[in-house]
């Protein structure tokens, strides 16, 4: 096996290790590390949860006394500052590791380039950019949040082949099949927050929790966009036994007594700037970013979907198409609002991926931000 092939194989191992921390490390990134000596893996580690040792420290601990003269693979540049834990660069230097292969620079301004420079200054060979696209995709949410302090936003939609999200009578459970539903709950487990409009709460009374087969999931923070505080006090999102809180985002049009009642029930109420009488979504993103909600899944109806897309807060779209045709002018579509006048004004996606999930087809892509 050649050097490049070996480096690639070990970086893929790092990425696989990093994924084990999904849903546990926010607002930190997902990081895995592998150490080899004389062509043999002697240490592996990953960042398991926020506040605990970083991947590099775990791998060095796993390697024990075999790190002198060894090589290390990491999908993200090691930190060179003291936060909840000490600088990883110091641990690498003190371990005697002679060569470090990195997937990408850390986009965090506190880190970017500093960890690499520190290692090189201390005589360690550093290679940067191996499987960089894959490494960036793994931590795309972290990268956006750390640079903008606003969450990475995914818009998720489930629809029939003709783009309908419910029948004319409002029946929508379940358009998607079991595998698609399971995928969505695994996605919820990775996200910090989940957002819907108040109409979804009134119509469907969803739980917005994570339910995984065979193990306990991590509930995202539930966020309800409700400009006039119409949310019923009996709604299940307000009456859950969950470690995650429910946030209701409203405006100054809401009645103060309803505001007080919601907070008495344990909800957090955020009064957000108006946009034509509705909650201004970009302002809401700044507010929830300040709460360290780094990633957000929108699972609302056509109205909130339209607002999210037109406001420019969406980064990625995930759409499940079920093999059904519903039809009818009164059956709701995926995106409401007034729509656009010309094709040039349409929201465009790039870097599309298509795959089967049971009987459904999953299409995902990124919003073209240069429109």
Which sequence positions are flagged as catalytic? 56
107 SS3 class: coil
101 SS3 class: strand
Nearest to 314 by CA among 272, 343, 342, 285: 285
Task: Indicate the helix (H) or strand (E) that contains 364.
Answer: strand 360-367
247 SS3 class: strand
Nearest to 17 by CA among 46, 43, 41: 46
The Cα 261–Cα 229 span in angstroms is 11
CB within 8 A of 197, min separation 6: which ones?
224, 225, 226, 300, 301, 303, 304
Strand partners, 197: 225
């Amino acid at each position: 096996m050649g050097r490049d092939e070996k480096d690639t194989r070990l970086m893929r191992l790092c990425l696989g290790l990093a994924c084990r921390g999904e849903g546990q490390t926010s607002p930190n990134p997902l990081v895995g590390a592998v150490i080899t000596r004389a062509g043999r893996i002697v240490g592996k580690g990953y960042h398991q949860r926020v506040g605990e040792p970083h991947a590099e420290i775990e791998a060095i601990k796993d390697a024990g006394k075999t790190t002198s003269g060894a090589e290390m693979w990491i999908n993200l540049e090691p930190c060179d500052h003291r936060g909840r834990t000490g600088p990883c660069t110091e641990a690498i230097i003190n371990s005697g590791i002679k060569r470090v292969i990195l997937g990408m620079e850390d986009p965090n301004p506190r880190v970017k380039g500093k960890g690499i420079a520190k290692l090189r200054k201390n005589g360690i060979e550093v290679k940067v950019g191996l499987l960089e696209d894959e490494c960036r995709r793994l931590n795309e949410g972290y990268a956006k949040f750390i640079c903008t302090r606003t969450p990475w936003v995914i818009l998720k939609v489930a629809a029939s082949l003709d783009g309908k999200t419910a029948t004319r009578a409002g029946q929508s459970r379940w358009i998607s099949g079991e595998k698609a539903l399971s995928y969505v709950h695994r996605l919820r487990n990775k996200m910090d927050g989940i957002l819907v409009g108040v109409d979804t709460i009134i119509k469907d009374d969803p739980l917005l929790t994570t339910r995984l087969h065979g193990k306990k999931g991590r509930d995202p923070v539930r966020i309800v966009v409700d400009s006039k505080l119409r949310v019923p006090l009996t709604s299940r999102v307000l009456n859950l036994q969950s470690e995650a809180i429910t946030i209701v985002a409203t405006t100054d049009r809401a009645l103060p007594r309803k505001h007080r009642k919601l907070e008495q029930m344990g909800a957090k109420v955020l009064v957000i700037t108006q946009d034509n009488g509705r909650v201004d979504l970009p302002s809401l993103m700044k507010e929830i970013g300040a709460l360290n909600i780094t990633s957000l899944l929108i699972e609302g109806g056509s109205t909130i979907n339209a607002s999210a897309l037109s406001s420019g807060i969406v980064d990625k779209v995930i759409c499940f198409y079920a093999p059904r045709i519903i039809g009818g002018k009164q059956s709701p579509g995926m995106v409401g609002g007034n729509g656009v006048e010309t094709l040039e004004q349409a929201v465009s996606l790039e870097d599309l991926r298509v795959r089967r999930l049971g009987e459904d087809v999953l299409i995902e892509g990124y919003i073209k931000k240069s429109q």
